[in-house]
Structures are given as structure tokens and as C-alpha cells.
């Protein structure tokens, strides 16, 4: 069990769900401050609001602290673990072209010209006949504590496109986001995009990192075998594959 992973997940959900323009994690603190300040401004000192204001402020400070402390890490912690790749079976069933493998994706996903960061999004991993790897995530609308909603702009299908020739490194490990860590791959690669301007098309090259967590080691081995095969490495037991 990972307590810090649970706090990272809570921080992400508090940031992603909003009431109006403000993230849910900031509302208890704001409400507590309003309960403390409004009676003073309106000279309503007889109204006993300070116990509620104090309680909400304490909860609010805790939630804001969780959100702010989890943000620099991207709301995850990746713990490298070479043992996950040390016993890769030579007869692991390969991923067939266009086969969809269930994963959870963390990183920058895109659709058209939009690019958003998602954490542990339910997704499918597939490799086309051209050997290009695609991560397809469907982001649903969701609620938290009945009153907060995720953004409508996030809802829908989002993608990551990984050209095997542009993969820089692959690591195996465990991803902490929630109480139970999951086996995961950390894939560093270059993303090349063509942006059409009014006069000419410009190529943008960016360094990207995507994490793919899975339910069991066998699925992890299938993903690793698939990716390492494109990297041209003979030793598929390496937990770190620099190109």
C-alpha cells in the first residue's frame, strides 16, 4: 500500500474537478475565509460562524497543501524496478498489429492542435502495421463529491503517437498513483509535429515522456517486447534501453 500514492491521486482529482472557475481543492479554504470575514464586515458578531470557519480553513489548508505538493511531480511517482524485466519469458505472446492492449496512460495527450496532461487515463495501446505505436485514451466527464465536475474540454478521445525511430529510452518500474502501485513503463521519445501556418508549415520537435501502467507483469512484458523489438536490441531483459 502506498499512502503517498493515495495523496498524489487525491491531489490530481482535486485539481482536475472544479466548481466554477476554481479547482475543488481551494473551495474549503475560500469558504472558511468567507465565513470568518463576512460576519466581521457586516457586524454580525453574534452569529457563531467561527467554529465552521476554523474547521473549513483547516481542511482547506490540508487540501491545498496536498494539491500544491503533488503538482511538481505530475501527480505520480515512478519507481524504477529492474526486476520487472529480469524474468522476461522468451515465449511471451507478441502484440499483433492493430491489437488493442489495455493500459493506463500518463503524459501529454493530444487531439488536433490541443495538448493536455492526463494521469492514469484508461487507454488502449496499439501498434500499427507500419510499427508506429499509438496510445488512445477516452476521457469521460466525471464528478467529485457530487458538486465538482471535470472540464468539458477534456472529454473525448486523446492520443499519443510514438514513432519507434524516435524512442530514446524505456524503463520498467512501478507507478504510484493511488494506494496500489502498478507495473509500468516509462518511455522517453521525441515527438515531431507539423504545424500549418498562413504562409508555410513548421515542424516542431519536443521531448516527451509517457508512462504506461498495466494490471500485471505479463502485459508489461508484452509491451516491453513490442517496443524493444523496434529498438533493435537483442537483449530484451534490459530494464533500460537507451537508443
Q: How many CB atoms lie within 10 A of CB 128?
A: 11
**Which of the pair, 192 or 38, is modelled with greater confidence?**
192
pTM: 0.86
Decide if pLDDT at 10 tops 80.
yes
CATH number of 77-231: 2.30.29
DSSP at 82: T
- Residue 224 in contact with residue 176, Cβ under 8 Å? no
| Contact by Cβ (8 Å): 105, 214 | no
For 100-115, write each residue's pLDDT tens digit.
Answer: 999 999 999 999 889 9
Strand partners, 135: 125, 160
pLDDT of 19 over the 80 cut: yes
Beta strand residue intervals within 7-131, DSSP E: 17-19, 22-23, 77-80, 101-111, 114-127
Return the domain boundaries, the chain.
3-73, 77-231
Under 8 Å between Cβ of 243 and 183? no
**Residue environment code for 178-192, b if the CB has 16+ CB neighbours within 10 A, otherwise e:** beebbbbbbbbbebe
Reported as a single tens digit per residue, the pLDDT across 49-70 is 667 677 777 888 888 898 889 9
**Is 51 or 87 the better-scoring residue by pLDDT?**
51
The distance of Cα 138 from the centroid of its chain, to the nearest Å, equals 13
User: Among 35-39, 84-88, 172-176, which stretch is predicted with the lowest mean pLDDT?
Assistant: 35-39
Amino acid at each position: 500500500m502506498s499512502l503517498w500514492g493515495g495523496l498524489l491521486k487525491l491531489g490530481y482529482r482535486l485539481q482536475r474537478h472544479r466548481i466554477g472557475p476554481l479547482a475543488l481543492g481551494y473551495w474549503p479554504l475560500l469558504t472558511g475565509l468567507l465565513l470568518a470575514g463576512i460576519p466581521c464586515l457586516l457586524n454580525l458578531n453574534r452569529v457563531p460562524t467561527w467554529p465552521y470557519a476554523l474547521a473549513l480553513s483547516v481542511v482547506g489548508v490540508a487540501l491545498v497543501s496536498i494539491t500544491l505538493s503533488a503538482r511538481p511531480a505530475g501527480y505520480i511517482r515512478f519507481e524504477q524496478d529492474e526486476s520487472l524485466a529480469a524474468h522476461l519469458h522468451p515465449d511471451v505472446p507478441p502484440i499483433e498489429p492493430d491489437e488493442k492492449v489495455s493500459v493506463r496512460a500518463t503524459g501529454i495527450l493530444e487531439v488536433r492542435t490541443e495538448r493536455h496532461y492526463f494521469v492514469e487515463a484508461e487507454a488502449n495501446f496499439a501498434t500499427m502495421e507500419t510499427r508506429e505505436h499509438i496510445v488512445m485514451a477516452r476521457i469521460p466527464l466525471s464528478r467529485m463529491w457530487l458538486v465538482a465536475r471535470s472540464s468539458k474540454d477534456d472529454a473525448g478521445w486523446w492520443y499519443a503517437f510514438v514513432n519507434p525511430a524516435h524512442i530514446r529510452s524505456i524503463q520498467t518500474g512501478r507507478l504510484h498513483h493511488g494506494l496500489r502501485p502498478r507495473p509500468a513503463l516509462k518511455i522517453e521519445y521525441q515527438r515531431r509535429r507539423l504545424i500549418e501556418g498562413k504562409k508555410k508549415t513548421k515542424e516542431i520537435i519536443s521531448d516527451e515522456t509517457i508512462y504506461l501502467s498495466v494490471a500485471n507483469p505479463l502485459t508489461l512484458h508484452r509491451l516491453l517486447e513490442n517496443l524493444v523489438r523496434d529498438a533493435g536490441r537483442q537483449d530484451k531483459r534490459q530494464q533500460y534501453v537507451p537508443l
